[in-house]
Amino acid sequence: MLRPTPAFLSLALAGILQAQSPFPAAAPVVSPVPVLASYPDTPAGKLLKEIKEHSEVVARVEHLADMIGPRLTGSQQLRQAQAWAMAEAKALGAVNVHEEAYDLGLAWTRGVDSARLLTQNGIRFRVDQLAWTAATPGPVQGELLLVDARNLEELQAFKGRLKGRILLRTNPDDKRPPLPRGGGGDMAAFQAEQVAMTRFLLDEGTLAVLMMSGRKNGLSFTTAGGGRDPKRITVPSAYLPQEPYRMLLRLVARKEPVKLELSLGGTFSAQPVQAHNVIADIPGTDLASEVVILGGHLDSWDLGTGATDNATGSAVALETLRALKATGLKPRRTLRIILWSGEEQGLLGSRAYVEAHKAEMDAVQAVLVHDMGTGMVKGFDLQGRENCRGLMAQAIAPLNDLGVRELSLRTMNGTDHASFDRVGVPAFAAIQEPVDYFEGTHHSQMDYADHLKPDQLIQGAQAMAVATWELLNMPGRLPHGTVARPARPAGEATPAPRP
Ligand SMILES: [Zn+2]
């Protein structure tokens, strides 16, 4: 009898799998990144060539994501990433490499989360606690109730019905016109109402709150649910992927009791802690007192490894240091790399930096941030700064053939440049190809280095390095000043989601 060789077996197996696959074969992937025929003999050309041929940006993202992993602000893993980033920056020739601390409040650590139905089909499904919310006191059992109240008044209609209940707070079939986002602009009143709603839920004896992830295909999501203040009040809260959440809604709609066992294990630190920004400089020459800041946030959410949010931006900033060292180029102004923390909790690191350095803001030529994942850079949002268009067009001119052409007047407030923009500093976030960022990796359990598109990420590193170089060296200075922006009309969606 002929013994099949292992190679034959695996070939046969592959044949069977292919024959049985319900999915059509994937079309070949065409990269959107233009290929340059040659590099001009200019500083920009040298940087482009160096990064294209010797980029370490993918390796650095993989180190941050695969070796260090999720980097929640306040965690030991973020501290490890910061120590690593400082060592990298020093090895890449930066000076003045240091950390600057600010007060975070309480840290929060994810525990073990679980959920299973005690009625109907008894299935267990994925559940992810919202960060900075209270744990359940071990596994709790409660009957589900759909409570799609959108404000305190609507919530009070449920008085007397919430004790011992686990609430479904998302109603994807809600056809009512949306309420104004964020209280229609009065942030203080909106926040006070949120606290009053939490107080009401706790006083009524609510066990926990479940919300539906906005992502399809089993993707979960997380964000911060509570505060970092030791005096905070929070209800144990979690996201469910759409499939189990919609099943729970269908079961509840049958008007039969639906009972769930839920365990959410996150814990707060005993004491408030400090968080840190990493800072590294390449000193300038004749204009050394002026600074161009290039950055990304080193912190991440913790369902995945924070590969595209935002190990990518952090690695892109470090790649600029590497390319300057490799080419021996010396900028006229000082380059400052800042890897922020606390971005995901509300731009805390960049706000703290701006507050601590407000006397130096006049000396900042510009701030550039890369925080939309792996996608190629196509330009920058000018935040309404029409008066910066001319010099920004100069800054990206050497990149036009690489697909970097867009200078939109759009205001994007979702990442760390916004902390500088609001005090009048020209500060711009890169416009990037979305790839699968907002539909996939962003804040979900899918944020792993598998989703890197190396050619696009390397183009992004080229774009950020060259635009930064041009801003460091051009004779002109970008005009400062706060930009008057009309308040958003009530109910209008936020212009861009927060990376
Ligand atoms: Zn981000």
Cα–Cα distance between 78 and 64 in angstroms, integer?
10
Task: Report the separation in Å between the CA atom of 292 and the middle of ligand 1, taken as the mean of its atom positions.
Answer: 20
CA distances from 129 to 138, 139, 213, 267, 338 (A): 14, 13, 12, 11, 30
Task: Report the separation in Å between the CA atom of 116 and the middle of ligand 1, taken as the mean of its atom positions.
Answer: 32
- Enumerate the domain spans of the chain: 43-107+271-473, 111-265
C-beta of residue 441 within 8 angstroms of C-beta of residue 309:
yes
Encode 219-235: b = buried (16+ Cβ within 10 Å), e = exposed: bbbbebbbbbeeebebb
Task: Report the separation in Å between the CA atom of 451 and the middle of ligand 1, taken as the mean of its atom positions.
Answer: 15
- The pLDDT assigned to 499 comes to 53
Task: Report the separation in Å between the CA atom of 3 and the middle of ligand 1, taken as the mean of its atom positions.
Answer: 55
- Closest CA relative to residue 135, chosen from 245, 268, 232: 268
Q: Which helix (H) or strand (E) holds 291?
A: strand 287-297
Task: Report the separation in Å between the CA atom of 39 and the middle of ligand 1, taken as the mean of its atom positions.
Answer: 32
Cα–Cα distance between 467 and 323 in angstroms, integer?
13
- Closest CA relative to residue 283, chosen from 337, 351, 221: 337
Rg of the Cα trace of the chain?
A: 25
Residue 489 vs residue 34, higher pLDDT: 34
Task: Tell me the average pLDDT of the chain.
Answer: 92
Task: Report the separation in Å between the CA atom of 433 and the middle of ligand 1, taken as the mean of its atom positions.
Answer: 15
pLDDT interval class at 181 (50, 70, 90): low
Task: Report the separation in Å between the CA atom of 38 and the middle of ligand 1, taken as the mean of its atom positions.
Answer: 33
Cα–Cα distance between 104 and 205 in angstroms, integer?
30
Task: Report the separation in Å between the CA atom of 201 and the middle of ligand 1, taken as the mean of its atom positions.
Answer: 31
Cα–Cα distance between 450 and 311 in angstroms, integer?
13
C-beta of residue 147 within 8 angstroms of C-beta of residue 155:
yes
Encode 259-279: b = buried (16+ Cβ within 10 Å), e = exposed: ebbbbbbbebeeeebebbbbb
Mention every residue, 6+ apart, whose C-beta is less than 8 A from residue 157: 149
> What angle is formed at CA 133 by the lines to CA 227 and CA 115, rounded to 5 degrees?
165
CA distances from 293 to 290, 302, 317 (A): 10, 27, 10
Structure tokens at 409: 């007047």
Mention every residue, 6+ apart, whose C-beta is less than 8 A from residue 367: 292, 293, 294, 295, 416, 417, 420, 425, 426, 427, 428
Cα–Cα distance between 107 and 94 in angstroms, integer?
30
Mean pLDDT of 487-496: 42
pLDDT tens-digit readout, 308-334: 999 999 999 999 999 999 999 999 999
Mention every residue, 6+ apart, whose C-beta is less than 8 A from residue 217: none
- The pLDDT assigned to 1 comes to 44
From first CA to last CA, the distance across the chain in angstroms is 61
Task: Report the separation in Å between the CA atom of 443 and the middle of ligand 1, taken as the mean of its atom positions.
Answer: 9
Task: Report the separation in Å between the CA atom of 432 and the middle of ligand 1, taken as the mean of its atom positions.
Answer: 13
Task: Report the separation in Å between the CA atom of 412 and the middle of ligand 1, taken as the mean of its atom positions.
Answer: 13
Looking up tokens 């046969």 gives 12
Evaluate if residue 437 carries a pLDDT over 90.
Answer: no
Cα–Cα distance between 85 and 340 in angstroms, integer?
11
Among 3.40.630.10, 3.40.50.2020, 3.40.50.720, 3.30.70.1050, name the CATH number for the domain at 43-107+271-473: 3.40.630.10
Task: Report the separation in Å between the CA atom of 435 and the middle of ligand 1, taken as the mean of its atom positions.
Answer: 15
Task: Report the separation in Å between the CA atom of 242 and the middle of ligand 1, taken as the mean of its atom positions.
Answer: 23
Looking up tokens 């212009």 gives 495
Task: Report the separation in Å between the CA atom of 319 and the middle of ligand 1, taken as the mean of its atom positions.
Answer: 18
Task: Report the separation in Å between the CA atom of 372 and the middle of ligand 1, taken as the mean of its atom positions.
Answer: 7
Cα–Cα distance between 465 and 50 in angstroms, integer?
11
pLDDT tens-digit readout, 65-83: 999 999 999 999 999 999 9
Structure tokens at 335: 């380059």
- Closest CA relative to residue 125, chosen from 25, 13, 243: 243
Specify the DSSP class assigned to residue 448: S
pLDDT tens-digit readout, 400-416: 999 999 999 999 999 99
pLDDT interval class at 6 (50, 70, 90): very low
Task: Report the separation in Å between the CA atom of 235 and the middle of ligand 1, taken as the mean of its atom positions.
Answer: 26
Residue type at 462?
Q
Cα–Cα distance between 60 and 320 in angstroms, integer?
12
Beta bridge partners of 366: 292
Evaluate if residue 243 carries a pLDDT over 90.
Answer: yes
- Closest CA relative to residue 338, chosen from 302, 313, 305, 312: 313
Task: Report the separation in Å between the CA atom of 59 and the middle of ligand 1, taken as the mean of its atom positions.
Answer: 19
For the ranges 20-29, 135-144, 356-365, 420-429, which has the lowest average pLDDT?
20-29
**pTM for the whole structure:** 0.90
The domain defined by 111-265 folds into Glucose Oxidase; domain 1 (3.50.30)
**498 exposed, middle or buried (CB, 10 Å; 0-12, 13-18, 19+)?**
middle
